[in-house]
Chains A and B, each alone.
Chain A
């Protein structure tokens, strides 16, 4: 099994270089929202381990919100973030990235303060890495190659059935046998490839197991201590924290709209400031660690709680935990994504985002919040960032497509099945 991981390079722009960078980034797209996978700067499409990537200017429109707490606006330098999700280990991926797109990346980062043309790009990227506080991948071990091969397999099977009605009319168990023969023949003729799963890297497995075990007592103690404090500190704050969620500015909304729904998947990037004070920072640190634990050890098979539409997502602290960045890749439109969230996992959003300034009022962290549907949607749009460049390594495939294709493939590689299993399998064709 090849595990997935992310990278995220964040670097402040040199003053006055913003429009130059935006122009450069716009050149990577066919049109806003549609990236050219073989663009000359970062030809994402050549990186065969890359699931998703994006480049986004962290242009936070909500920095004034902190004045609701009587504090002055903090003028963080405007930064650019380059992030992505890939198969395998970080070091080798970054090497590949630099080899493939070194000069393009240099052109982009030349607009950042502290970047000198003579520097070692790999070192520079690594030194600007921002690790996520929570990282989620839809299906641990599912590689880009696997997604593509299994999609091709299913297509081949469906075409074969279309052309051979006598096969399509077989009962499920015989059907499976016949299709297996077909697949073997296609493989032998090199028209289909189904690469076997790679062994799980030993170091990764060790680290993962140790984390699964030893993070528990640490988290338990932290959660307990925090829980006791929260009992006294939480409600008063929840009752008085201001909600800041005016209707989003129509122009910003239109700019965001233009980037969306070019294919079945979409990206979402957002930023915001934490509510001031140590309690909120502590709350968020503990909770994001707890969620990260579940994402790492529990929700590794297609679903984050009840939500099955998220491919990759992450929460990242910025600026000494004063700000939080969120990024996700999901199926469907933003409207349906938000609805899924509100109706299926409002509690999960609430516990995190309620620590951000302006979030709709929650009760005991879990309750209400996102259930104030319209206010929540305004809040989300208002914090959203216009993602200049977004690459999808398996455009057109939803998380459920991938899941289905994997099951279809299993049926072609595993041994005997009961009749009922065969029925269920055949239904997926």
Chain B
């Protein structure tokens, strides 16, 4: 099994660059393809190769399918990308229905990324404190001005690891199997936090042990010889290799609305915090899970001194009396193994498959989680309002929220599935008409199961998060960037 060539992977696939606290997202349209390609060929894109000390600045580049076309990538090559990428996040009404992008959230109301808004590329600039302007001058030089029109500069803020509602974010991430040791041949009896490399990067086997489709090119054709060979198809070059899809959504958070609603619904600031914790699934102070700590080791979860950050599944809390079933983190990652009840031995397994496993309402409803993991790389924007202040309805009214970014190899099976079947679904895990309380709310309600009583139900839940923009992009490997930078010459040499 070949080792991963980290110098061919864009850095954010491996690192969160949290030490680079300043970050701008530049939304670009190609003005002059030749100039854009020339800029790209010389761009100092940061790779995933480990560096000591870590880099003082970083540059990442991703493209929409309009952008790849604008740069001259041929249609026969484009056809190899996934259908979701080709259609785009706002590309058809049925996708918007599935993602919950309806009403206020509908693409027509977006600030950026709506149908007709031609976004070609995303440039991500990251630096340590106060360095951003200088780094921007360095990066946006050469043929930059001729090459691109900057449609929007999305700024971010460093909220010290908390998202605008005030909760610690980025605690749980899948561990990527960079060493390619993972064996997925068998049903997994235990939840593991490790996922196959092919769930993140194209060109490697995924959790099914298969290679996700991506553009494979016959070598002589137009400069494809700069690309790595496709691992599983002899004679083909792999444009997807070491690349991934980048899902970008600007999610505006109504922080004042959030805390004042909770304060009103519960009657006291302390109770409001407790309700918010139930909605998230973690405590406000430390980010500790509400679900009970799991006694067994979980592959890919390190024991942490500060508490059981990720040392849990929901097996010990089936009814959600600890962490409500509707809570954000329980939906976003239900932490399920492949088979309910750990059937060991062939016969027990077959019996389980035939339906002989654990019985009961809401038992074995959610299937395997490992096919639906995403790597989150978003950043916050705007300033937080302390909950105590927000509860009184005060706080500077400026836009704030999350520039949500996630990376995945298969948008429909990973991001779209999580968003559609888990987060926005009113029927997740057999719930009656309630979606994610942070991101919905379908059904406008949130229920918290209790021991020996009926659940507490919060009704009249308003919408706290509004989608303001979004796009599906391709974050290519470095060789693929070089191929794209040369795409035009290839097109002309072919014709």
Contact = CB atoms under 8 A, between A and B. Distances in A.
5 contacts: A169-B453, A306-B340, A335-B416, A343-B367, A423-B452
Interface stretch (A42-50, A93-101, A273-281, A400-408): A400-408
Interface range for B: 35 or more
Given A333-B421, A427-B454, A257 B212 contact: no
A234 interface: no
B362 interface: yes
Nearest to B412: A335
B83 A250 contact: yes
A335 B454 CA distance: 33
A257 B455 contact: no
B413 A158 contact: no
Size band of the A side of the interface? 35 or more
Interface in A140-173: 154, 158, 161-162, 168-172
B177 interface: no
B420 A335 contact: yes
A253 interface: yes
B453 A171 contact: yes
A400 B208 contact: no
A305 B420 CA distance: 24
Given A264-B427, A400-B362, A426-B454, A257 B92 contact: yes
A169 B451 CA distance: 11
A299 B353 CA distance: 13
Given A332-B421, A343-B371, A373-B208, A172 B364 contact: no
A292 interface: no
B144 interface: no
A423 B357 contact: no
Interface of B: 79, 83, 86, 92-95, 97-98, 208, 210, 212-213, 319, 338, 340, 352-355, 357, 361-362, 364-365, 367-368, 371-372, 410, 412-413, 416-417, 420-421, 425-427, 430, 432, 449, 451-457, 459
Contacts of B210: 372-374
Nearest to B209: A371
A51 to B, nearest CB: 18
Nearest to B449: A427
Contacts of B213: 247, 374
A343 B454 contact: no
A222 interface: no
A340 B367 contact: yes
Interface string A321-349: 00000000001110110011001110100
A88 to B, nearest CB: 27
Top 6 closest pairs, chain A to chain B, by CB: A257-B94, A400-B430, A336-B421, A429-B454, A305-B355, A343-B367
Contact of B97 (A261, A335, A423): A261
Interface in A235-286: 247, 250, 253-254, 257-258, 260-262, 264
A170 B452 CA distance: 9
Contacts of A403: 361
Nearest to A173: B452
Given A335-B98, A339-B367, A401-B432, 6 more contacts: A175-B453, A254-B92, A258-B92, A306-B340, A308-B365, A423-B452
B370 to A, nearest CB: 9
A308 B340 CA distance: 14
A400 B430 CA distance: 6
A398 B426 CA distance: 10
Contact of A305 (B98, B354, B412, B432): B354
Contacts of A371: 208
B12 to A, nearest CB: 25
B208 A427 contact: no
Contacts of A404: 361, 430, 432
Contacts of B425: 264, 332
Nearest to A309: B365
A419 interface: yes
B410 to A, nearest CB: 8
A343 B362 contact: no
A308 to B, nearest CB: 6
A303 B362 CA distance: 12
B78 to A, nearest CB: 11
Among A260, A303, A374, A427, residue most surrounded by chain B Cβ atoms (within 10 Å): A427
Contacts of B416: 335
Contacts of B432: 154, 401, 404
A372 B208 contact: yes
Contact of A335 (B355, B361, B421, B456): B421
Interface in A170-204: 170-172, 175
A258 B367 contact: no
Given A339-B413, A427-B319, A333 B452 contact: no
Contacts of B449: 427
Contacts of B352: 306
A20 interface: no
Contacts of A308: 364-365
A233 interface: no
Contacts of B357: 306
A298 B361 CA distance: 18
A428 interface: yes
Contacts of A336: 417, 420-421
Nearest to B213: A374
Contacts of A333: 98, 420-421
Contact of B454 (A161, A247, A264, A374): A161
A15 B98 CA distance: 38
Contacts of B94: 257-258, 260-261
Given A331-B427, A339-B417, A400 B454 contact: no
Nearest to A422: B452
Nearest to A423: B452
A161 B410 CA distance: 43
B284 to A, nearest CB: 25
A158 B421 contact: no
A126 to B, nearest CB: 35
A339 B97 CA distance: 19
A428 B92 CA distance: 37
Contacts of A258: 92-94
Given A250-B83, A340-B367, A172 B453 contact: yes
A347 B353 contact: yes
Contacts of B93: 258
A169 B450 CA distance: 10
Given A257-B92, A372-B210, A427-B454, A250 B86 contact: yes
Contacts of B420: 333, 335-336
